Amino acid sequence: MTSLTKTVLATLIVLASGLQPAMAKQNDPSDVAAIHKVIEQFRISIINKDKPAFIGLFFSDKPEEVTWQWVVDDAVLARIRKTKPQALKARHVPTSNYLSFIDGETKPGAQPAEEKFSDVKIDTDGEVASVNFDYTFLAAGKETNWGREMWQLVRTDAGWKIISIIYSVRDPIIK
């Protein structure tokens, strides 16, 4: 390698290192703690049937601006198709959203409910975050479904807010 080639190569390396994007701070403990607090507030608001607290966890007070999507596992789909052959594994239901969920949980006579979380994983750069975990949903102390749940959050002026929830629905009989 000639001296000119070495100089050009060294110059390119120095220039390229200056062009590297700034790396965001990953998983700052204060952000992770704040996101854990959102998860706990979600759980507690269901137990306490606290609709205002639950709604306050979301990015928008307009449910159509927040993704809320489920997908059933094959066992659940097979059971549903016995009575509704046209049933789909996943379909968008505009009336299925965080507001209709909490309305169902807080209506007069609604059974006590709780969502339990385990294997929680959080990834954040301090501005956006993804959270995923295993969940079990209980109504009147009885498991109704379980699966994996994934949230997307954004850090707003008012703190961390949920902008998207997707989850699988698995048959409680098959665990």
Confidence at 171, pLDDT banded by 50, 70, 90: confident
Residue scoring higher pLDDT (174 or 140):
140
Is pLDDT of 114 > 60?
yes
Is pLDDT of 39 > 70?
yes
| Model pLDDT for residues 75-97, shown as the tens digit of each residue | 999 999 999 999 999 999 999 99
pLDDT of residue 57: 98
Write down how long the chain is: 175
Structural domains present in the chain: 27-169 (3.10.450.50)
Is pLDDT of 19 > 70?
no
Q: What is the mean pLDDT of the chain?
A: 90
For helices 98-106 and 29-47, what crossing angle results, to 10°? 40
User: H or E stretch including 169?
Assistant: strand 159-169
Is pLDDT of 6 > 70?
no
pLDDT of residue 10: 54
Could you tell me which residues come within 8 angstroms of residue 82 by beta carbon, excluding any fewer than 6 positions away? none
| Model pLDDT for residues 96-109, shown as the tens digit of each residue | 999 999 999 999 99
| Model pLDDT for residues 129-144, shown as the tens digit of each residue | 999 999 999 999 999 9
Which DSSP state fits 59?
Answer: S
Q: Is residue 69 helix, strand or coil? A: strand
pLDDT of residue 172: 75
Q: Which of 8-22, 38-52, 54-68, 91-105 has the lowest mean pLDDT?
A: 8-22
